[in-house]
Structures are given as structure tokens and as C-alpha cells.
Amino acid sequence: MGYETLNSEVSNHIAVIRLDRPDAMNALSTQLLGELARALRAAQDNDKVRCIVIAGSEKAFAAGADIKEMSEKSFADVFMGDLFGPEVDVMLRIRKPIIAAVGGYALGGGCELAMMCDFIIAADTAKFGQPEVNLGVVAGIGGTQRLTRAVGKAKSMDMHLTGRFMSAEEAERAGLVSRVVPGKKLMDETLAAAGKIAEKSMVTVTAIKEAVNQSQEMSLSQGLLFEKRMFHALFNTEDRAEGMKAFLEKREPQFRDR
């Protein structure tokens, strides 16, 4: 079954999921979020895929939840109906690495979606914001929590309380994005990063993703123990033996995901 609100293509072991609602700045509707969940699960289940990229358009990664869809709803509607469905956070259950390629606006749910990815590469034209305050609501899929962890309380409060937008440059300085690249090079640079990840052992990459994610959930001592045990466990893999052997033999490693 195809998609109406996004495109999803696999090439060179990378699944590129491109949000595509040009008339609504890629606003996150129930349909889009359902299709995104389906595309992400398909990428997770496809053995050829080693890294996932979520992108939008030059104008907008996503300008937030679909305000038209939300505007007539009551508290009972959204509370009992689980607005936008139970899969808005499906990304958190995807074990393959996910990079957000953000060009243009990443606002409200769009910024939150980007923050649910493993890291964000931003075009120099990108703008991030949590402007829900202007609509009389609060962020709903992690903005108050993840933005605060990413940029600290002062900047997070500023963003949420004033609703102002943050430039890509400020976002990089604050630690929200990992790199800023010229707008025209956004996809090339993101695909290059995804390609680098795709060359590694998937066992190692998956372990790294789990360990870094635990840093957001555990105390430091628990996280350090988790990391150390993961390090020990990887000594059981053929790829660990190959990686170290290849280094000593001054050649590129041939990983086999074992």
C-alpha cells in the first residue's frame, strides 16, 4: 500500500522518508503520522536498510501538528480519542539509527518529531520553535522535556514561553542540532552521514544507540554500568574481533553484523 502524505525510498542501504504535504507546511495530521509509523516500521523490517533519514521540504520539515484538524476538538475528544493516534512516538521503538534532515520550519510537533530522531542535521535556513503557547496549548510529544534536556532550562523556557523561533546557528550553538550545512547541501550531507553509519556493524550501531538513549533515562552511575556491560558484551561479536584485527592489519574492516 502506498503513501499519500510522504514518500519513502530505499537506496544504498538508506531509507529516506520525506514528509510531503506541501499545502500545509508538512503539518502532522493523523494520516501523516499513521503513514510515518508505517514507513518507519517497514524500514525497520527491511534487512537492506541500515539507516533511516526523515526529511521535509526546503520550506518546512514540519510546521507542527495539524491545527485545522485540532481546532474543533474538545478535551474529551483529544483525551479519550488519543489525538493523532497511539503511534506518534513510534520512532522511540525503532532500533535502527534515524537522522532528521531539517530544512525550513521545524515547529511544535515538527520540532518534537526531529528531537525524537537520533540526531538532527540542519540546513542553515532551518528554524526551530515550540510556538504552542500562541495557540493556547503546551507541547504534546516531548517538547518541554526533550528541548530542555537538549538546550537547558533557560533557553527551553524562553522558546516555550515566548514562542520565538531559533535559527539553525543558535540551535547548533545550544546543542539541539549536530551540524549545520548550507541549505542546498542538506540531503547530500545527511546521506553522507547516513552512509557512514551504514558501513558500520549493525550490532555495534544498535548497542551505541541503546547506550546513548539510556543516558536520557538513567542516573549517571546506572548509565555508566549499562555502557560498561555493553562494552563487555560486544567482545562476543565477530565484528569486534574483525574491527580490531583490521586496525592492526591497517586495512578497512569487513563487518558482517555478527
Residue ranges that bind ligand CO8, judged by CB under 6 A: 24-25, 27-28, 63-68, 84, 88, 105, 107-109, 131-132, 135, 139-141
Q: How far is the CB of 241 from ligand CO8 (least distance, A)?
A: 44
In the complex with ligand CO8, the residue whose CB is nearer, 72 or 252, is 72
In the complex with ligand CO8, the residue whose CB is nearer, 97 or 140, is 140
In the complex with ligand CO8, the residue whose CB is nearer, 135 or 211, is 135
Give the three cell numbers for residue 172: 547548533
Q: How far is the CB of 163 from ligand CO8 (least distance, A)?
A: 8
State the catalytic residue, choosing from 64, 104, 108, 109: 109
d(CA 159, CA 141): 16
Q: How far is the CB of 153 from ligand CO8 (least distance, A)?
A: 20
Mark whether 132 is an active-site residue.
yes
Mark whether 223 is an active-site residue.
no
State the catalytic residue, choosing from 35, 112, 172, 227: 112
Q: How far is the CB of 113 from ligand CO8 (least distance, A)?
A: 7
Give the three cell numbers for residue 178: 549536530
State the catalytic residue, choosing from 132, 139, 143, 198: 132
In the complex with ligand CO8, the residue whose CB is nearer, 3 or 84, is 84
Mark whether 249 is an active-site residue.
no
Q: How far is the CB of 37 from ligand CO8 (least distance, A)?
A: 12
Mark whether 252 is an active-site residue.
no
State the catalytic residue, choosing from 60, 62, 65, 126: 65
Question: Which positions are catalytic?
Answer: 65, 109, 112, 132
